[in-house]
Structures are given as structure tokens and as C-alpha cells.
Amino acid sequence: MDGREFRKLGHELIDWVADYRERVERLPVMSPVKPGEIRARFPSEPPQAGGELARALARLDVDVVRGITHWNHPSFFAYFPSNTSYASILADVVASGLGVQGMSWQTSPAATEVEEVVMDWLRQMVGLSDAWTGVVHDTASTATLCALLCAREKASGFSQNGAGLQGLEAPLVVYASKEGHSSIEKAALLAGFGKDNLRLVETDEEHALRVDRLEAEVAADRAQGRVPCALVAAIGTTGTTAVDPLAAMAALAKQHGLWLHVDAALAGTAMVLPECRPLWRGVEEADSLVFNPHKWMGVGFDYCAYYVRDPEHLVRVMSTNPSYLKTAQDGAVKNYRDWHIPLGRRFRALKLWFYLLDVGVLGLQARIRRDLANAQWLKEQVDAAAEWERMAPVPLQTVCLRHVPKALLGDEAALTRHNLELARRVNESGAAYLTPSLLKGRQMIRVSIGAESTERRHVEALWRALQQAAL
């Protein structure tokens, strides 16, 4: 393809994207295709001759879009909002157009320095002190793995430079809430701690970690000769956005020398609002912190913000320094390749930069407040409605609910079937997309509000659709 064809197809695709965004509200939120349906549209062998792209682009709607579940649909209420703003699409055009690989400062100084700038802006935006330094990771799963690896190496006196975890006399133990994200368990397992050395601590009636239980677990481990190593606090659990008591956990972490990692993957965005920051009181005592601007904020996936208080420790755990990666500027600059697991890195900082230039901090604050208000509105409807039950507090933008018809009262098995069926009906109708989930064994439906295009009317329509489906 030459530049002329690229311009032509590029303009067409920009318009195609805008057309898509403008009509997405009329598409079914969850893709209606059956397993294998998209695959069957493709030949089983690669094309031998080229020159086929323009023809394929003309068929994108049938070959691809029918198989898309629309995360940027205003009635997307599943999982978490994953907003890809127009501004961050434009940033990806620039990042891919430049084709930058920013593993070291020298391999594109702008990729490193724009990241330094915008990660510091983001730090200020969520009210963190300048003791924190940020770096872009892909996802919170990876960042949490890095946090546990840093904890492991700190507690073990850099065992990786010796016999590794295989040489430790007393096992290291990791603690987190039972309602914490599955990535915490995954990280603990991949980091080699083993499930036997992972304590998922009981939560209270608001689904936040119980510090008394945590304290008891730590004491029991100590008594049995194990070494408490790391503690993960959830600021906004995945199930219900429950908020762990961070200040109390920080005190306990300090007392026992635990690495404290804060998982605020979704809720970090809320901290752009000063009125939300009491939710993570104590955060300044943590060692590491992850939150995802690629969730609720508006920075297209992937863009995970990982903040640490001791970047030198992170680099000691993550760095390799072969001769072919040495450059004249080493020591005077950041080489972000040493700040995470991958070596290579895209120029993702452009996405946050473009997004903030477009909406400004004030615009972002207004949108987050809109989403919080929409969640409170839905909460009030559920609380006021007969035969509907709210399953958890609503500190942020997620409302957990279920329908409890009188006839099924007390019959948990029937209530599970009924609410799964209810969610299935709504999802398959295409009108909205929700996540059925279990909360301490009870079936609920999670309504996660915060797509960029979600206005009050969409939440109202969802509430009508739920009531309709329950009839």
C-alpha cells in the first residue's frame, strides 16, 4: 500500500468509525452471533496474493461488527466501563503512525518524557503526593503481579539473585480480601507463593475486608513460622465496589512489615473528584497502587497506571541490562523497559494526553459526577420498588440488585434461576448488557454505570427493561 491508498482508506475508516459511534446505540449491545459464526466467514488459508484490503474493509460490518459486543454502547452496563474516547482513538492513530517502540529513552525520548509528564498530571489529578512515581502498564493483572514480585523480593532479600523462592526456609504469605479481584490470586500463584500461602480474608456485611480477621490470620501465620509478606487492599471490589478499610490495613501492614498494594482498578478514576478521596484515606501509606484510566475514565484500552513509592526497588526487580540495551544516557534518564515485565512498549501516553487536552480535568469531573448520580438514582429506584432487593452499598457507580418475587421468597435456588434468566433475557434482547454474578453465594445482577455515552435516559430505560423482563 502506498501513501495515496493509505490516505484514501484512512479517511474512509475514520468516517466509518464515526458512523459506527453514531449508530452504535441502535445495535444490540451484546453480539448475537453463535460460536463459530464469525470464524466460518473466513477462509481457512491465508491469502497468497495481496491487494485484498479495500474489499475486506467494505465488508467489515458483516464480517466483524456483527461479532462485536459494544463496550462503547450507552446501554453497556456489564463488567466495567471501558471507555475509548474519540480523543484516544486519535492518539492511537498517531502512536501507530509513528510506529514507536519506546523500550528505552533513546529509542524515542518523547515516548518516555510524555509518559513522565502525563503520569505526573494523573498523580495530581487523583490527589496523590509527589512521593509517587507512575508508569504505564497494560492491565491491572500485570501490575498486581509486579507488585507481588516486588513484595516477594523485598521480603526475601532479593531471593531472585540466589536460590529464588526455592531457597527460602519460611514460606512468604500474601493477604487480600475474599471479595478481591481474581487477578490477585492469579498473581500470587504465578509469583510462586502457592495457594497454601494465600489468605483470602473474610469480609464484613458491606463486603469490605475485616481487619480483625486479617490480624488473626497474620498472627496465626507468624505463630506457625510463616512470614507475612504482602497485603492487597481493594478500593472498589469487582463484585460490589466495596471499599476495604485502607487506613487500618496500612497500620497493620506497617506493624508487620507487609508490602501494601492498593487495587483501585476501577475506583481510581473516582479520585479525580476530591469528595471521593476519603474512600482511600491511608493510600499514602501504601507501597504500590494500580488504577486503570482505560476503565471508567475514557482512555482507550489498554492504559493501566501503576504507581510506586520506590521506583528503584521496582527497577531492581524488573531490570536486565545486556550490552545491546545499554545507551549513552543510562543513569540520566528513565528506561521504562525496566519498570515492568515486557521489554517493548507502545507510545500509550499519547492517549491520556489527547484525552485530557480534549475534556480537561473539569470536564472529566463533571462526567464522573454524572455517573455517580445515575447510580444513586438507580439505587433509589431499587430501594423503593417492591420485590426488588439491593445487594450491596453503592459507594461508586455499580448497583448490585436482584428481583425477589414473593412466590420465590426464601428459595435461593429458585431466585438464582430466576435472576440468571432475567439477566439472560435483557442481554439477549440487545437492549442492554449486564453481568450476573454471585455475592457470597447469592445470585445478583451487577449494573456497572459509566460508559461515556450513558445518560440518565439510558439508565431509566435499563430499569424499565429489568422490570419488564421480571414480569
Rounded CA-CA distance 189/186 in Å is 5
* 3-state SS record for 143-196: HHHHHHHHHHHHHCCCHHHCCHHHHCCCCEEEEEECCCCHHHHHHHHHCCCCHH
Give the nearer residue to a copy of itself in terms of CB position, either 145 or 462.
145
Give the nearer residue to a copy of itself in terms of CB position, either 269 or 282.
269
Pick from 395, 438, 129: which is nearest to 270 by CA?
Answer: 395
- Tell the smallest beta-carbon distance from residue 68 to a copy of itself (Å): 5
DSSP per residue over 84-113, as a string?
A: --HHHHHHHHHHHHHT---SSSTT-HHHHH
Rounded CA-CA distance 246/283 in Å is 7
Give the nearer residue to a copy of itself in terms of CB position, either 226 or 385.
226
- Tell the smallest beta-carbon distance from residue 317 to a copy of itself (Å): 8
Give the nearer residue to a copy of itself in terms of CB position, either 248 or 305.
305
Give the nearer residue to a copy of itself in terms of CB position, either 57 or 211.
57
- Tell the smallest beta-carbon distance from residue 125 to a copy of itself (Å): 6
Give the nearer residue to a copy of itself in terms of CB position, either 291 or 354.
354
Assess contact for 418 and 408: CB atoms under 8 A: yes
Q: What are phi and psi of 316, to 5 degrees?
A: -65, -35
Tally the C-alpha atoms within 13 A of residue 18's C-alpha that lie toward its C-beta: 7
Give the nearer residue to a copy of itself in terms of CB position, either 38 or 385.
38
Give the nearer residue to a copy of itself in terms of CB position, either 326 or 464.
326
Joined together, the cell numbers standing for residue 289 give 497502587
Rounded CA-CA distance 45/47 in Å is 7
- Tell the smallest beta-carbon distance from residue 213 to a copy of itself (Å): 20
Burial 100-121 (b: 16+ CB within 10 A, else e): bebbbbbbbeebbebbbebbee
- Tell the smallest beta-carbon distance from residue 61 to a copy of itself (Å): 11
Pick from 118, 122, 393, 129: which is nearest to 283 by CA?
Answer: 129
Residue listed under C-alpha cell 524488573: 318
Strand 259-263, strand 304-308: pairing: unpaired
- Tell the smallest beta-carbon distance from residue 370 to a copy of itself (Å): 15
- Tell the smallest beta-carbon distance from residue 386 to a copy of itself (Å): 27
- Tell the smallest beta-carbon distance from residue 214 to a copy of itself (Å): 21
Residue 417's CB is within 10 A of a number of other CB atoms, namely: 13
- Tell the smallest beta-carbon distance from residue 248 to a copy of itself (Å): 26
Give the nearer residue to a copy of itself in terms of CB position, either 381 or 416.
416
